[in-house]
Amino acid sequence: MKGKRAYLVKPGKFEIREEEVSYNQDEVLVKVAVCGLCNWELNHWFGYLGTCPQTLGHEWAGEIVEVGSRVTNFKVGDKICYLPGKLEGFSQYAAASEDRCIKISEEFDIHKVLGEPLKDIVTVLKAAAAEPGDCGIVVGCGPMGLWCTQALSGNTLSCLIAVDIDDSKLALAKKFGATHTVNPKNCDAIQAISDITGGHMGDFVIEGTGNPGVLNQCIYYLKPTGRGRLLLMSSHETATKEFDFRPAVERSIDLRVPHPGHSLNQMEDLRRAVSLLEKGSFKIDGMITHEFSLDEINEGFRMLENKPKDYIKGIVLPWR
C-alpha cells in the first residue's frame, strides 16, 4: 500500500512524496482524516528544530485500516486519536502504537477530532484548580484560550473574563461563555478587571499569548494577596528570560507552568479531553477557520506564520 506524506525538505518548504506505508506488529495503521496546524511546529518550519528532511504533524486522528498481530485493544474500522510520539500526521497513513491511541465513538465526526491540543487544555484546567466562586481570567483568545473559555463556561465561577486586543475574538469568547470581555487597546485593563470584580481581581489567570509584556501585565490582573494562580499556558519559554519576578513574589503568586510535561498522565488527560469533546464541552464548529489539502501544506504553514485577521485554527485534510 502506498500513501502520500509531506516532508519538510528545508526551512519554509514542504515536498509531497508517495511511499510504501509500513507498521510494526504492536502498531495500528491509520488512515489520517485530519491533522491540526500548530504554532509549535513553526519552530521546525523556520529551521530551529529537527533536521531536514523531516516529517511533521502531531494533532491528528483517523480510522484504523490494518492492525499488527500483537495489537489486542483495537480493530479495523475503529476511529482513534493519537498521543504524539512520532510527528507523522501530515500524511495519508500513519502508524501508531496501540498504547498511544484513544478510541473515538463511531457516531462522532472524525474530522472534528483534535485530541492533542484539547488534551493540553485538560492539563491547563487541572492546574487552574478552579474553585466555586472564583474569578477566572483568560488572556489571549486564540484557539487554546477559546477552548479554555468553553470548558470553564457554565462552571461555578463568579465571573469568566476574556482579554484580547481583537474585538472579533472577544465576541467569540463571549459566545463561548465568557461573562465579560476586556480589550486593553480600548481601556485600562487592570482598572476594568477591578471594576468587574469589585476590586477582588482574578483568582487565576491563564496566559495564552506568549508575549512577555502581556505576561508581566497578568501579574496585576490577579488578586494582590491569597495565592492568585498564574498559569503560563503559552509563556513557559518567555518566562525563563523576561518574567518580572519582583511583583510576583511581592503578591505571593502561585506560578504554574502547565505545558504537556506538567501532566501526571498524558493518556488520561487525552481520554478526558475526548470525553469532553464528545459531550460537547469542547466545540470545534466556529473554531476551524481554514482547511488545506496535503498538497496545500506550504500555503497552510505560510498562513500559520502570517495569520490573517479571521484566522483561528487551521487543519490539513490529507485525503482532500
Let me know if residue 14 belongs to a domain: yes
Let me know if residue 200 belongs to a domain: yes
**SS3 assignment, position 273:** helix
> Which grid coordinates belong to 214?
502581556
The domain tally of the chain equals 2
Query: Do 208 and 295 reside in the same domain of the chain?
Result: no
- Burial 155-185, CB ≥16 within 10 A → b, else e: eebbbbbbbbbeeebbebbbebbbbbbbbee
Query: Do 215 and 298 reside in the same domain of the chain?
Result: no
Query: Do 137 and 247 reside in the same domain of the chain?
Result: yes
What pLDDT is recorded for position 212? 86
CATH label of the domain that carries residue 228: 3.40.50.720
Let me know if residue 279 belongs to a domain: no
3-class SS shares of the chain: helix, strand, coil, % to 5: 30, 30, 40
Query: Do 180 and 253 reside in the same domain of the chain?
Result: yes
Let me know if residue 277 belongs to a domain: no
**Helical (H) or strand (E) element with 147:** helix 143-152
Query: Do 155 and 252 reside in the same domain of the chain?
Result: yes
Let me know if residue 272 belongs to a domain: no
What pLDDT is recorded for position 188? 98
> Which grid coordinates belong to 245?
519576578
Let me know if residue 271 belongs to a domain: no
Let me know if residue 124 belongs to a domain: yes
Q: Which of 73, 36, 70, 76 is nearest to 56 (CA)?
A: 36
> Which grid coordinates belong to 112?
472534528
For 211, residues 6+ apart whose C-beta sits below 8 A from its C-beta are 235, 238
What pLDDT is recorded for position 80? 98
Determine the longest span between alpha carbons in the chain, in angstroms.
64
Domain range for residue 85?
A: 2-114+284-317
What pLDDT is recorded for position 251? 87
Let me know if residue 276 belongs to a domain: no
Q: Which of 285, 234, 238, 276 is nearest to 258 (CA)?
A: 234
Query: Do 82 and 200 reside in the same domain of the chain?
Result: no
> Which grid coordinates belong to 216?
508581566
Query: Do 123 and 258 reside in the same domain of the chain?
Result: yes
Concatenated DSSP letters of 74-118: --TT-EEEE--SS---SBSEEEEEGGGEEEE-TTS-GGG--HHHH
How many Å apart are CA 278 and CA 271, to the nearest integer?
Answer: 11
With beta carbons less than 8 A apart as the criterion, state whether 34 and 57 touch. Answer: no
Per residue in 194-227, pLDDT tens? 999 999 999 999 999 988 889 999 999 999 998 9
Which segments of the chain are extended strands (E)?
A: 2-10, 13-20, 27-36, 59-67, 79-82, 93-97, 101-104, 135-139, 159-163, 180-182, 204-207, 229-232, 254-256, 288-293, 313-317
- Check: pTM over 0.75? Answer yes or no: yes
Query: Do 125 and 242 reside in the same domain of the chain?
Result: yes
Query: Do 58 and 130 reside in the same domain of the chain?
Result: no
Per residue in 86-142, pLDDT tens? 999 999 999 999 999 999 999 999 999 999 999 999 999 999 999 999 999 999 999
Query: Do 227 and 306 reside in the same domain of the chain?
Result: no
Query: Do 230 and 158 reside in the same domain of the chain?
Result: yes
> Which of the residues in the chain have pLDDT under 50?
none
Query: Do 229 and 300 reside in the same domain of the chain?
Result: no
What pLDDT is recorded for position 247? 87
CATH label of the domain that carries residue 90: 3.90.180.10
